[in-house]
Amino acid sequence: MTRIESKFAQLREEGKKAFVAYIMAGDPDVDSSLAVMKGLPEAGVDVIELGLPFTDPMADGPTIQLAGQRALEGGMTLARTLDMVRAFREGDDTTPIVLMGYYNPIYSRGVDRFLAEAKEAGIDGLIIVDLPPEEDEELCLPAQAAGLNFIRLATPTTDDKRLPKVMQNTSGFVYYVSITGITGAAAAEAADVGPEVARIKAVSDLPVIVGFGIRTPESAKAIAGVADGCVVGTAIVGQIAEGKPVADVLSFVKSLSDGAHSA
């Protein structure tokens, strides 16, 4: 059982919803992002999504695109991202970490090498936005063989015919994208999300976590109330972009996690 699977089993036993937080590795610099990362569990974060900076992040809105650019300009690489995970693991061996990004940096490093390094560093799962299920042999199946969960995205445009294909090799949890378009583009609405979560649960036993368009404790509570939990990324990255002190960023994260956990 991976850390991700253990965490969701624990939350289920406690009758709690999950709160997942996204930050970009190396934004605005390695030390600052590591300080935020280390503070996330105490701020109520159940699963950390760590963004892997990439030059052409097609699913990301301006806030996360700029975070990736800042990280890359600061010298952040895949190897340094894994070093950041190792540093986090020195003090926390239980909080699940999902690496979220695009396939190009992994392909460039070599799949076998990357998976061995990611597992050793303490990564628990992958969300690779630009690898569809038709390409499962490329990374998904090798990742699962290496003991990493491969988490797939489902969207409002994933119809009933497509959904079983998307779910076939997914593990850990399902990430439901609540809106069409890029991150941070619109607000998620619980009334729209609820039926979609039910549709996914009809074909999968995995927890369904909803992301995109959640910016406030109130929206975190509303969305977590119709799913197994929620993800917040753009709103947190926006706080970092504004130059807020680490303590203030973590206080904001705590308000969001309190919202999700009260659902």
Q: Which of 137, 162, 138, 140 is nearest to 152 (CA)?
A: 140
Query: Nearest-CA neighbor of 176 among 231, 237, 258?
Result: 231
Residue 244 CB neighbour total at 10 angstroms: 15
Distance CA 65, CA 68 (A): 5
The stretches of the chain forming alpha helices (DSSP H) are 3-14, 30-39, 62-73, 78-89, 103-109, 111-121, 140-145, 163-167, 190-201, 217-224, 234-241, 246-261
Q: Please, is 42 exposed, middle or buried when counting C-beta atoms within 10 Å of its C-beta (0-12, 13-18, 19+)?
A: exposed
Please tell me whether the peptide bond between 28 and the residue prior to it is cis, using omega within 30 degrees of 0.
yes
DSSP code, position 235:
H
Count Cα neighbours of 190 within 13 Å in the Cβ-side half-sphere: 15
Is residue 5 part of the annotated active site? The answer reads: no
Distance CA 109, CA 237 (A): 27
Q: Active-site residue 60, yes or no?
A: yes
Helix crossing, 111-121 with 78-89: angle to 10°? Answer: 20
Residues in Cβ contact with 191 at an 8 Å cutoff, skipping those fewer than 6 apart: none
What is the dihedral sign for C-alpha 28, 29, 32, 34? positive
Q: Which residue out of 49, 136, 196, 228 is catalytically annotated?
A: 49
Which of the following is catalytic: 5, 46, 60, 228? 60
Catalytic residue set: 49, 60
